[in-house]
Homo-oligomer: A and B are copies of this chain.
Amino acid sequence: MADINVSPAQRRPLSGTAVTGAEPAGREPAYELIELMFFAYRDFVGDPDHVLERYQFGRAHHRVLHFVFRHPEIRVADLLDILKITKQSLARVLKELIDQGFILQKEGQVDRRQRLLAVTDKGKALALELAKLQTERFARAIAQSGTTRDQAVRFLYAMIDPERREDVTRMITQADRALRGKER
């Protein structure tokens, strides 16, 4: 397989000990990992891009569709918080997703100021199609790299800013619960 990993001079702190950062001093730059991350992510988001062209959607649409799909009846403010964009940026792509019938808005029951967002059947179908593409890439990568799915999860999780990890965990588990509750 990959004899890509032939860096010498790199046998140190990566094992146990310092959970909080290790010495920032003389570490060799991890060019290989940096570049692999760049190319991996490019291909990871590249798959959906082709499909999205059919509807003249871009990556911004994909992100909105995905997180609305995963969080049915999500409030606009919460979606903005996940995406970390402004409402003006969201408005453009959201309008197109609504106009083309992928997402719909409902007035909040308890708070009628809220416009709760959810995918339509059409939106769900597209979100699933895109998720499937990316899932297959992960499945291939895990199988071919000899890693376990769990290791991949832990590794990617640990790449996230420590302060944000709890939020991410909560978000994912909540979404899973909500979707499981809906479908079963």
Chain A interface (Cβ within 8 Å of chain B)? 1-8, 10-11, 13-19, 21-22, 24-25, 27-44, 46, 63, 66, 70, 84, 128, 131-132, 134-161, 164-166, 168-173, 175-176
Given A139-B13, A172-B35, A40 and B159 contact (CB-CB distance below 8 Å): yes
Contact of A168 among B15, B24, B36, B172 (CB under 8 A): B36
Q: B4, A39: Cβ atoms under 8 Å?
A: no
Contact in complex: B70, A154 (CB < 8 Å): no
Summarize A's interface: helix, strand, loop or mixed: helix
Please pick, from B29, B70, B142, B168, the residue contacting A155 in the complex, using a CB distance under 8 A: B142
Q: Can you name the residue of chain B whose Cβ is closest to the Cβ of A28?
A: B135
Extra contacts besides A35-B168, A37-B44, A42-B84 (14): CB < 8 Å: A2-B154, A2-B157, A4-B154, A8-B150, A17-B149, A22-B139, A24-B136, A27-B139, A29-B128, A31-B176, A33-B134, A39-B168, A40-B160, A151-B151
